[in-house]
């Protein structure tokens, strides 16, 4: 990679960190274990791998690195999900880590506007759609409990 390409990649990594931080702040506010730092690291790591695949290995198949980033993040997200007697927990957090990696990949691919728009959309989904979920949970009929 040329020095100029590395400087651009550093700026992309910083943007990926900032956008990932915005998503991670929501999960941090919700008290999730995969919070701010996890989201930032997923976004930054995906950005670095994507930038390297584009610039450091010219002429090679860059889609191979991208597909492996998606697979690796999927493996990481599987570790975020946990099962309890009350059901499965942290699916949304795992999905947000996965989406944050996509933001990092978009930034490194030069799709900065797409990455910013995706961050806003993801934040909207995490912050505002939660209230829609809560509303419908209160409207849902409760299962009948037999009397003892």
Is residue 51 in a domain? Answer: yes
- In this model, does residue 116 exceed pLDDT 90? yes
Is residue 132 in a domain? Answer: yes
Is residue 60 in a domain? Answer: yes
Range of 13-17, 29-33, 82-86, 133-137 with top mean pLDDT:
13-17
Mean pLDDT of the chain: 82
**Whether pTM exceeds 0.85:** no
- What backbone phi and psi angles, to 5 degrees, belong to 88? -100, 135
CA 8-96-20 angle, to 5 degrees, is 30
Is residue 50 in a domain? Answer: yes
Is residue 7 in a domain? Answer: yes
Domain that holds residue 81: 3-139
> What is the count of structural domains for the chain?
1
What is the structure's pLDDT at 119? 92
What is the structure's pLDDT at 11? 92
CB 16 within 8 A of CB 43: yes
Report d(CA 33, CA 90) in Å as an integer: 9
Is residue 15 in a domain? Answer: yes
Is residue 145 in a domain? Answer: no
């Amino acid at each position: 990679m040329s020095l100029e390409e590395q400087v651009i990649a550093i700026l992309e990594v910083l943007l990926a960190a900032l956008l990932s931080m915005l998503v991670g702040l929501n999960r941090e506010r919700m008290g999730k274990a995969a919070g701010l730092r996890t989201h930032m690291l997923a976004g930054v790591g995906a950005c670095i791998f994507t930038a390297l695949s584009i610039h450091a290995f010219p002429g090679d198949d860059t889609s191979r690195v991208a597909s492996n980033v998606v697979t690796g993040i999927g493996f990481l997200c599987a570790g975020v999900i946990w099962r309890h007697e009350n059901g499965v927990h942290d699916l949304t957090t795992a999905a947000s880590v996965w989406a944050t990696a996509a933001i990092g990949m978009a930034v490194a691919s030069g799709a900065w506007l797409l990455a910013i728009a995706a961050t806003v959309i993801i934040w909207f989904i995490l912050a505002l759609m939660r209230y829609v979920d809560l509303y419908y949970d209160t409207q849902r009929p409760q299962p009948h409990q037999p009397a003892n």
